[in-house]
């Protein structure tokens, strides 16, 4: 693993962190000026979004600078917050409260498997063992009414918030031989491209969007936004990938395409959940953004696919 104690400021991870911070400062200054000039319709929401980004990026960079274990713990904590938020918005039976403890217990176990790099058990622990244990525990409550719905809700929630998100942490320990950058670079690349994909699809949709893709699920999603995001992230990944990861340009381009497409489907999937529950945001944890699920909806889909893409071609 990369030793951050050397303070090699020329390392790609450090340079990327510096560029992200510079971009955030620039965005804050531009937003502040636009607000002062009354060019923004909802200045409070914009400023809240940027302040939240400072906290998000600050915590991410602090964990990276603190090392491997701190970074794994941060991702595990995100899984905890996401599962907690999911269970707070999705209706469950009163009897299921006795089962939820076992769902939370999967988090420390799953991330312990990450920390010791036990891929064989990591990849099947949730979809096999947790699936069986939660089902049996629900049976033991003796409640039959609503069983199929409840077991599906809990299994799917754990799969999304724990299993899928844990692939972000596993990038940190993925053995890939001699790396130009480390697992920290892979993690930064995944998170940056996923979040920028959301931004690009939003901007292209606002500027050029006319034809809706799935208006019943997400009225703001347009073909222009989707294609603009895919093209932008594919090109941007081809530029950043070789600098920050062990991938060459062709593989970086392919990775960017995968992230852009799957990120879109992650976004609209959680939008469908909120539509079904008739809520606007999944929570209020991140001012200006909504809840943690609103922020990592795309990441829950991009993380496992990007992880297996890198593992198949480079590990």
User: Rounded to an integer, what distance in angstroms lies between the CA atom of residue 146 and that of residue 298?
Assistant: 29
In a domain, 148, yes or no: yes
Number of domains in the chain: 1
pLDDT for residue 240: 93
In a domain, 91, yes or no: yes
Q: Name the 3-class secondary structure at 17.
A: helix
Please answer whether residues 206 and 38 qualify as being in contact, where contact means their C-beta atoms are separated by less than 8 angstroms. no
Q: Please indicate whether residue 227 or residue 19 has the higher confidence score (pLDDT).
A: 227
Please answer whether residues 222 and 41 qualify as being in contact, where contact means their C-beta atoms are separated by less than 8 angstroms. no
pLDDT in tens, 46-100: 667 777 778 888 888 898 888 899 999 999 999 999 999 999 999 888 888 889 9
In a domain, 138, yes or no: yes
In a domain, 166, yes or no: yes
In a domain, 152, yes or no: yes
Please answer whether residues 222 and 209 qualify as being in contact, where contact means their C-beta atoms are separated by less than 8 angstroms. yes
Please answer whether residues 165 and 299 qualify as being in contact, where contact means their C-beta atoms are separated by less than 8 angstroms. yes
Instruction: Give Cβ neighbours of residue 8 (< 8 Å, ≥ 6 apart).
Output: 14
pTM given for the model:
0.90
DSSP letter string over 90-145? S---GGGHHHHHHHHHHHHHHHHHHHTT-HHHHHHIIIIIIHHHHHHHHHHTT--T
In a domain, 132, yes or no: yes
Point out which residues pair with 286 in neighbouring strands: 290
In a domain, 23, yes or no: no
Q: Please indicate whether residue 38 or residue 3 has the higher confidence score (pLDDT).
A: 38
User: Where in the sequence is the domain holding 129, given as residue range(s)?
Assistant: 73-170
Q: Which pLDDT band holds residue 2 (cuts at 50, 70, 90)? A: very low
In a domain, 165, yes or no: yes
Q: Which pLDDT band holds residue 33 (cuts at 50, 70, 90)? A: confident
């Amino acid at each position: 693993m990369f030793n951050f104690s050397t303070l090699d400021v020329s390392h790609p991870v450090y340079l990327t962190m510096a560029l992200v911070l510079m971009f955030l400062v620039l965005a804050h200054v531009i937003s502040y000026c636009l607000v002062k000039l009354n060019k923004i319709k909802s200045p409070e929401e914009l400023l809240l979004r940027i302040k939240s980004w400072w906290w998000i990026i600050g915590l991410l960079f602090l964990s990276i600078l603190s090392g491997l274990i701190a970074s794994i713990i941060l991702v595990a904590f995100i899984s905890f917050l996401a599962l907690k938020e999911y269970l707070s918005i999705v209706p469950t039976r009163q009897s299921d409260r006795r089962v939820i403890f076992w769902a939370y217990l999967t988090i420390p176990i799953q991330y312990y498997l990450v920390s010791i790099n036990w891929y064989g058990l990591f990849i099947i622990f949730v979809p096999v063992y947790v699936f069986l244990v939660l089902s049996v525990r629900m049976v033991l409550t003796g409640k039959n009414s609503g069983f199929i719905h409840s077991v599906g809700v809990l299994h799917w929630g754990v799969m999304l918030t724990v299993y899928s998100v844990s692939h972000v942490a596993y990038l940190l320990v993925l053995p890939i031989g001699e790396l130009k950058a480390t697992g920290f670079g892979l993690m930064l690349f995944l998170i940056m491209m996923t979040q920028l994909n959301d931004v690009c699809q939003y901007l292209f949709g606002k500027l050029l969007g006319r034809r809706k893709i799935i208006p019943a699920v997400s009225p703001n999603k347009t073909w222009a936004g989707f294609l603009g995001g895919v093209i932008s992230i594919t090109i941007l990944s081809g530029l950043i990938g070789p600098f920050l990861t062990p991938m060459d340009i062709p593989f970086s381009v392919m990775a960017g395409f995968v992230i852009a497409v799957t990120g879109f489907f992650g976004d609209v999937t959680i939008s469908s959940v909120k539509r079904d529950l008739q809520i606007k945001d999944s929570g209020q944890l991140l001012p200006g953004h909504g809840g943690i699920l609103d922020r990592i909806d795309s990441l829950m889909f991009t993380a496992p696919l990007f992880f297996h893409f890198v593992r198949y071609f480079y590990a």
